[in-house]
């Protein structure tokens, strides 16, 4: 009988390049899955999903009476999302802004910012909120065994891994995020067009891109500005997943004045006036006599350009 002394396994050795590559990939996947990018299934980032679920648990549905935003944020960070309250509240504000989301998930009361200054919203102790009716499309089948559940951060509650979206929310509201080594910027689309294209694809799984583009010809941004990108460039964008969308404002002629009533997505009216005024001072817009901002609560965007002569308007 011989005595054998068990020795612990030697530490694993691997080249620094291999370890660094794996560690970087693991970290980037964590950021992608848990923080930065929206999920294809419901089109939401974790903080957006947790806000939506927490509000449904507070019975803040579309027909409910709104509650203080601080109450909602307290539940979100206390039960599901242990991060800063300011960042969580800002995420909820974006979900309530009709100029940021094509189909807002939250219906807010109070000052929730403006298109000129989206971050001019009031503090959470002053605003109230409830879920918008659109959120029903993400929550109505939650209790029917449609999604997986997982423990929350301290293991005391369960939360859904995804919300059972009945429509492709990733296309309807789009998605934007920057992760480690990758990013995404998906434009929003029209509900009727997306549903029509989805039904067609379900009925015809081998449908071509051209067939789908006949039903869903392009993006549909919240502000309603015109898309100036040619159709063949939009087709290339959908085919390759890479491209850009050019937009232009809408205007009308009123009493010899050029009245801009719709600006491109995420374009500030105040900055537009500032840039036009700079061009006027540089003598690059000699036909413009004056420009003023007449935007108010009834007309969120109303920029008035006064020409030097009405003949320019008639010739245009």
Catalytic residues: 126
Contacts of 267 (CB under 8 A, 6+ apart): 223, 225, 249
| Nearest CA among 276, 248, 281 for reference residue 262 | 248
Whole-angstrom distance, CA of residue 125 vs CA of residue 70: 5
Where does the chain have alpha helices with state H?
16-31, 46-57, 69-75, 85-96, 136-139, 169-172, 191-203, 209-215, 231-240, 269-281, 310-315
Whole-angstrom distance, CA of residue 243 vs CA of residue 167: 24
Cα dihedral sign, 11-17-20-22: negative
| Per-residue tokens: 26 | 């693991």
Whole-angstrom distance, CA of residue 172 vs CA of residue 187: 8
Cα dihedral sign, 141-146-147-151: positive
Cβ distance 112 to 121 under 8 Å?
yes
Cα dihedral sign, 47-245-196-224: positive
Cα dist from 150 to 51, 160, 269, whole Å: 16, 6, 44
């Amino acid at each position: 009988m011989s005595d054998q002394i068990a020795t612990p396994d030697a530490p694993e050795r691997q080249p620094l390049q291999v370890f660094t590559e794996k560690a970087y990939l693991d970290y980037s996947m964590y950021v992608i899955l848990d923080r930065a990018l929206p999920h294809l299934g419901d089109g939401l980032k974790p903080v957006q999903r947790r806000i939506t679920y927490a509000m449904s648990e507070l019975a803040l549905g579309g027909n409910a009476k709104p509650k203080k935003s601080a109450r909602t944020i307290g539940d979100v960070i206390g039960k599901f999302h242990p991060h800063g309250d300011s960042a969580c509240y800002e995420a909820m504000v974006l979900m309530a802004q009709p100029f940021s989301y094509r189909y807002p998930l939250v219906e807010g009361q109070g000052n929730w910012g403006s298109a000129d200054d989206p971050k001019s919203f009031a503090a959470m102790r002053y605003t109230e909120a409830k879920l918008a009716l659109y959120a029903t499309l993400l929550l109505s089948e939650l209790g029917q065994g449609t999604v997986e559940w997982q423990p929350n951060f301290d293991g005391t509650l369960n939360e859904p891994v995804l919300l059972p979206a009945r429509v492709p929310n990733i296309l309807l509201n789009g998605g934007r995020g920057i992760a480690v080594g990758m990013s995404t910027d998906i434009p929003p689309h029209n509900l009727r067009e997306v549903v029509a294209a989805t039904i067609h694809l379900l009925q015809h799984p081998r449908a071509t891109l051209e067939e789908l583009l006949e039903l869903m010809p392009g993006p549909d941004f919240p502000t309603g500005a015109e898309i100036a990108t040619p159709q063949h460039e939009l087709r290339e964008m959908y085919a390759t997943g890479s491209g850009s969308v050019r937009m232009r404002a809408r205007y009308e002629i009123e009493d010899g004045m050029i009245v801009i009533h719709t600006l491109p997505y995420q374009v500030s009216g105040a900055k537009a006036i500032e840039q036009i005024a700079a061009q006027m001072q540089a003598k690059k817009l000699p036909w413009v006599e004056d420009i003023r901002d007449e935007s108010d609560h009834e007309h969120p965007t109303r920029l008035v350009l006064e020409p030097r002569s009405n003949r320019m308007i008639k010739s245009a």
